[in-house]
Structure 1
Amino acid sequence: MKVLVEENAGVRKVILNRPKKLNSLTYEMIVEMLKKFKVYENDPMVKLVILKGNGRAFSAGGDVLAVYNFTTAGHWSFAASFYRKQLTLDYLLATYKKPLVSILNGIVMGGGAGLSMHSRFRIVTENTLFAMPEASIGLFPDVGASHFLSRLPGFFGEYLGLTGARLVGTEMLACGLATHFILAKDLVSLENALRVVGSLDVSDISTISDIIVRFVHKVHIKQDSAYSRLDIINECFSRETVEEILLSLENFSANREEKWIIKAINYMKSASPTSLKLSLRSIRKGRIQKLEQCLIHEFNVFCHILRRTVNDDFFEGSRSMLVDKNKNPQWQPSKLELVTEEMLTKCFDKVDDDDWESLQLPAKSNQSFILESKL
């Protein structure tokens, strides 16, 4: 079973169980979780749901290879259906009526972030590693990233989305992507302690919070962390265009020998120019949108990418990075200045296809939680 379920009194655990594939999300897993979470949300006996992953990852993202293989075989509509289901699940969890605790003990990227970043409780450990590296394969930070990245302090969200930068658990806590830091060795004790919630008459948020706080481990962010350079990040990533952001980073790099700046520049120079520009526009657009609006515009962009509306970058990036693994994708256009505003605008418009439908999300009150720095 790729999704396991444990039931104990009023507590339910949903466990991603594809450890050899870093719990990358298949269509079947998405459908199964949608079914389970809907049942639990409407079951008065359920007081708390815990979401976690087996192995060394929470989830490294969606099964990109499956999307690539189906689409190159001529079935782009399957990939669109996969993504529609995935965004519907992300929205369900973001607006969930029951308390949801996501335990991120390991790798959390892409689709894994979409599942967890709007949970009320987002627990990280010393094993947690977060990133949104989509631009490296011709995609863009999606699954609600235009919402949760745009709400990070300053322009830190633009930094993460445009550079694929990796964060450890302490940095996630500092910027607000996580709510609590707990040592991995204490997670079993935490889960056992949370069983008491199942005996409550109501889903008591304060009781859950009090239990989690008992296991919190005090941490400090390292001096060489990029988050400790938020002033420089704000200076560079507040610029209007990707070209200006990159130039600003290069100017700083000329006078500073800081690894995070060098990594940022190298990533941006190797990523798809179109993806970088789509990423920036998506995050900026998301800053003034509600979550459902963010998911709808992300769905539009993803479908255009699948249909090769402006280029083949996703297919070229997937071939190079995941299939042939030569890590030398040939992007088209190959330079930032060749990616036009008209190309970007097309990707945010609705798809002109008789069989295509816009993303329709169920009417629910948005209960997604404001991200804020905890350090």
Structure 2
Amino acid sequence: MRQQNVWRLMSRFNSFRRTNIILQHLRMSKHTEAAEDVLLEKKGCAGVITLNRPKLLNALNLNMTQKIYSQLKKWEQDSETSLIIIKGAGGKAFCAGGDIRAISDAIKAKQKLAELFFKEEYILNNAIASLQKPYIAFIDGITMGGGVGISVHGQFRVATEKSVFSMPETAIGLFPDVGGGYFLPRLQGKLGYFLALTGFRLKGRDVYRVGIATHFVDSEKVSMLEEDLVALKSPSKENVADVLETYHTQSKIDQDKSFILEEHLDKINRCFSANTVEQIIENLQQDGSPFALEQLKVINQMSPTSLKITLRHLIKGSSQTLKDVLTEEYRMSQACMRGHDFHEGVRAVLVDKDQSPKWKPANLKEVTDEDLDNYFKSLGSNDLKF
């Protein structure tokens, strides 16, 4: 009898211990998951950054941005690290942008996340642009907004047939930031202006054709490409370029398919060369082609304020340095956070998902030059500094 009681007690104790171990493990895995939203590893000659939030399409948060920046600086100084690779986990996205819902929520809760997030993100964008070592971004999958910022300023960008590029910020009351004011107006003709105002999506080889990517490789070959890059011995930029070129040359996917916007380039250049959004709209109306009318429909759904600040920013950015553009974008981002349209855009697209934002002001006429000036005003001692 006594033995039975001891046995019962022991089994109770064991199940209690087992439950405890399981709970501890769950707590740990939860902690690990939170801690490892970005993986930073040294492989061969390379520092490898893996964005590790696949369920959230590897959306960037403040923690990831800070970790990447700090590791980038270490690898830049490390003589054993010859190149840096950045990629996304999960096979669906490289990075679908910044975690803007978290930012909107934080502002409503009177937290300072927005001030910090944009500052750290733009400082990281600039660090990538000025990096002294080859930086290779595998933009294999969805690459939007903040994901563009941590790839496009690097020396090498590898697109695949799964790549989807877009700067869709005018649809959420924001503007194409992360240096968009620098790289977009430098694309061929007025293509960057078109992409910025409409949020048009480029896919696959077209991401390479417009110059967002420097190389195009079959998605299934990306891990082999990574192995070959990592195995290089103290490579120069030229050695890295040679390996990428070899893979690029071998890729035949969609090679004979024409660029999706090829037949519309003249229209885009003609319609989007105006200095005001109103004039662009008039140009599209006058053109009257199905393509022009489709773009008109898209533009009419965007935040009028976003459209106007975006166009002004791109025109200015076409002759500014990247640092000047990012400084201005920080001012603009903080003005957007104080305004109505960003929070309304996040609500309509990400929270309620009714896709029916109520913009204020509701039309272009009501967005005055004075309103616009406020988005570009210096923040004094709070301005972005590099």
| Distance (whole Å) between structure 2 residues aligned to residue 227 and residue 306 of structure 1 | 37
- The answer for the alignment partner of 1:315 in structure 2 is 343
Q: Where do 5+ consecutive residues of structure 1 fail to align?
A: 362-375
Residues 175 and 227 of structure 1 are in contact (CA less than 8 Å); yes or no, is this contact kept in structure 2? Answer: no
- Answer yes or no: is the 8 Å Cα contact 1:304–1:351 preserved in 2: no
1:115 aligns with 2:146: no
Match of 1:9 among 44, 56, 60: 44
Q: What TM-score, normalized by structure 2, do the two folds share?
A: 0.87
- The 5 A counterparts of 1:164-313 are 164-197=199-232, 199-200=233-234, 203-216=235-248, 217-218=251-252, 219-220=254-255, 222-223=257-258, 225-252=260-287, 254=288, 256-258=289-291, 261-308=292-339, 312-313=340-341
- The more displaced of 171-180 and 223-232 is 223-232
How far the C-alpha of 1:195 sits from its partner, in A, is 2.1
Equivalent residue for 1:72?
108
> What is aligned with 1:98?
133
Runs of 4+ with >3 A deviation = 218-224
Which has the higher mean CA deviation after the structures are superposed, 107-116 or 220-229?
A: 220-229
Query: What's the CA shift for 1:227?
Result: 4.2
Aligned residues: 347
Structure 2 letter corresponding to 1:322: L
Return the index of the structure with the highest Cα Rg: 2
- Which letter does structure 1 place at the counterpart of 2:383? S
Structure with the higher fraction of residues in helix conformation: 2
Matched, 1:332 2:368: no
Report the residue type matching 1:2 in the other structure. Answer: D
Task: Name the amino acid aligned to 1:332.
Answer: K
Corresponding residue number in structure 2 for 1:52: 87
Root-mean-square deviation (CA, aligned residues, Å) is 1.4
**Matched AA of 2:162:** N
Q: Secondary structure at the match of 1:50?
A: strand
TM-score, with length taken from structure 1: 0.90
Bigger shift: residues 12-21 or 77-86: 77-86
CA–CA separation in structure 2 for the residues paired with 1:19 and 1:12: 20
Output aligned runs, 1:323-362, within 5 Å.
323-351=351-379, 357-361=382-386
* Identical counterparts, % of pairs: 37
* Equivalent-residue separation in structure 1 for 2:266 and 2:109 (angstroms): 47
Does 1 or 2 have the higher relative contact order (CA < 8 Å, sep 6+)?
1
User: Cα distance 1:337–1:240, how it changes in 2: closer, same or farther (>3 A)?
Assistant: same
Report the equivalent of 1:20: 55
Change (3 A) 1:33 1:224: closer
Query: How far apart, in 2, do the equivalents of 1:307 and 1:23 lie?
Result: 26
Whole-Å separation in 2 of the counterparts to 1:347 and 1:124: 34
